[in-house]
Amino acid sequence: MATQERPLSPHLQVYRPQITSVMSILHRATGVVLALGALVLAGWLVAAASSPGAFESLQAVLASVPGQVALFAFSACLVYHFLNGIRHLAWDAGHGFDIPKVYASGYAVIALAIVLTAVLWYFGFTAGGAA
């Protein structure tokens, strides 16, 4: 029996990135970052519960420049994922499915994520959050 050749789907390189595909990929990627950050948070809690030395060691790692960059990335991912989740909830309620609204809400989520992350870090540093 002869096998019929099936058409192949085009590779991802054929497609031009659109705001909808970028937002979807970012939502999944930020979910992965948040899962990894939850492990760091659990380690921080275990260190706090185990001994002052372990807690101070982890605090020193998080206060270093790479630690601060990781915390900034985690907070940016948290804000973005939260806002994009609200966007998805609006879609679940049946709102915002028109293409112009989808694009507008996508750009709004990106802009708000940048602004809210900056505000969060501003207040964190000015309210005595940084030593």
Could you tell me which residues are annotated as the binding site? 81
Report the distance separating Cα 119 and Cα 105, nearest Å: 20
Task: Return the number of other C-beta atoms located less than 10 Å from residue 59's C-beta.
Answer: 15
Cβ 74 vs Cβ 80: under 8 Å: no
Q: Which residues are annotated as a binding site for heme?
A: 81
Please, which contacts does 39-46 make with residues 24 or more away whose CB atoms are closer than 8 Å?
40/70, 40/74
